[in-house]
Amino acid sequence: MGNASPSFSPNPSRKESLVTPLRQRMLQDMQMRNLSPHTQNAYVRSVAKLAAYYKTPPDQIEREQVRAFLVHLVEKKVSFSLFNQTRCALVFFFRITLGRDWDFDRFPCQKQPKRLPVVLSQAEIAQFFAAIRRLKYRALFTAVYACGLRVSEVVALRAADIDSKRMVLRVCQGKGKKDRYVMLSPKLLKLLRDYYKAFRPTTTLFFGRDKSRPLDRSTVLRACRLFARRAGLTKRITVHTLRHSFATHLLEAGVDLRTIQALLGHRSLRTTALYTFVSTERVAATPSPLDLLGAAATGGAKL
């Protein structure tokens, strides 16, 4: 086989990633369909891995080779989400960018097991925040929990998104390229004002070393793991855990599912309904049908 295409090498230089025609064509196809930058990067990495596996340019790879590569991923026991993301990326590349008229049903998605999300109690949330000493991260993670934000949404926040008169926070172009409003807690507003006075952000609220650029997602994810360990929490905690906790705590406080759906920016109510299975308060408060039976039906048994 030939050498791997420089356009989809596993670690292309910045210059290559900008000028290589095949990579540029795929990027343009994704931009026309308004895919997020995060999805674009993930799709390009998937095609790069395919090219590296066969050590040949990806546009010279045939359908059965793609199928064999996906089988290889299954044998490696990669996660369900990584497998399905890779499958979607390759289907996009060969169907859209290269215009291959293949039977893509031969590349099925893997059925993912339905697992309930990890949720923190309110005491654990307080424990997590108590472990955060730096004002920037305390403000950032408080915003995630208080507003139910995703990582990409919190790092994209601007000062202009805070409406203190109406006490709402605007989430611009969240998942699915949708805007939405969420409540602005007075406690969060005070914390954000303290943060603003101390750091004077310009372009985005939460910036990295370069004040003109938002804080990197990976930095936020690492910080979350650090604070969870420092807090002594044993659950597997990610930034999304705070979002799950936001939804569950609202449900337990009596907020209806439709409102929670709007606050989270979910397209389907079925997605939001997952939290009815997570709320232990609701589960514990629901009487068992055994308790509804008369005493005669359950008592009087002899050893």
Write the DSSP string, 94-120. IIIIS-----GGGSPPPPPP--PPP--
Residue at 167: amino acid letter: M
The two three-digit tokens of residue 70, written as one number: 């996906």
| Length of the chain counted residue by residue | 303
Whole-angstrom distance, CA of residue 117 vs CA of residue 175: 19
Closest CA to 84 of 113, 47, 111: 111
User: The tokens 């064509």 sit on which residue?
Assistant: 25
3-state secondary structure of 72: helix
Handedness of CA 283, 284, 288, 292 (dihedral sign): negative
What H or E segment, with its residue span, contains residue 249? helix 239-252
Whole-angstrom distance, CA of residue 192 vs CA of residue 177: 25
Strand partners for 182: 169
Whole-angstrom distance, CA of residue 241 vs CA of residue 122: 12
Whole-angstrom distance, CA of residue 171 vs CA of residue 185: 15
CB atoms under 10 Å from CB of 205, counted, come to 25
Whole-angstrom distance, CA of residue 100 vs CA of residue 95: 5
Give the catalytic positions in this structure.
Answer: 150, 175, 240, 243, 266, 275
